[in-house]
Structure 1
């Protein structure tokens, strides 16, 4: 195996072996060289661990990228389905537009003026037939008394 193809740990071990084979002795220079070789050996272990962590992180990122792509596909499908549903609902709504109920909107609405505060407001027929309603401004209870003849006259 060529030196260039070796891992950083293998290169550090190779340098350490060369230094041991040289028989450096105990001179101050030899001590510095041995300390530097030990430092390179320690650094190679740390770098190797970091490379392993980077590989693991890259694999996780690839997995997340695939998951995000799948979620994007699902989101597009949901968006498409929602668009179809909206079109369906709007098509149903168009079918009812032929019936114009604007004349009926206020047909059963009655205007009332509060005798206490003068507030004018509207109520529907059902509220009116209940016999009482509170004024929305002063909360005065307004009561309505109907004779059966009055109700019959109103239905004509």
Structure 2
């Protein structure tokens, strides 16, 4: 990502350094490109909140209901309770090591 940010900064510097005329068709295009590059740089520099969040799907062994559990709950709970049937089952026995 850092290499991409460097390349974007370099291209922005080139566009601004050559002093293109913003009133021409080309100038309008370059300004549009610079705006998109600015937004892209901001996006690449700011990590997404959703990027590191994972959820896991479990199947209740009693009724077959699928349960979606986020990583935080998975780390704090040893047992899950199915909202459909009320059955509790251990989380650690359900986790697959195939990841």
Q: Which has the larger radius of gyration?
A: 1
- TM interval, short-chain normalised: 0.3 to 0.5
Q: Counting strand residues as a fraction of each chain, which structure ranks higher? A: 2
TM-score norm. by structure 1 comes to: 0.31
TM-score norm. by structure 2 comes to: 0.44
Q: Counting helix residues as a fraction of each chain, which structure ranks higher? A: 1
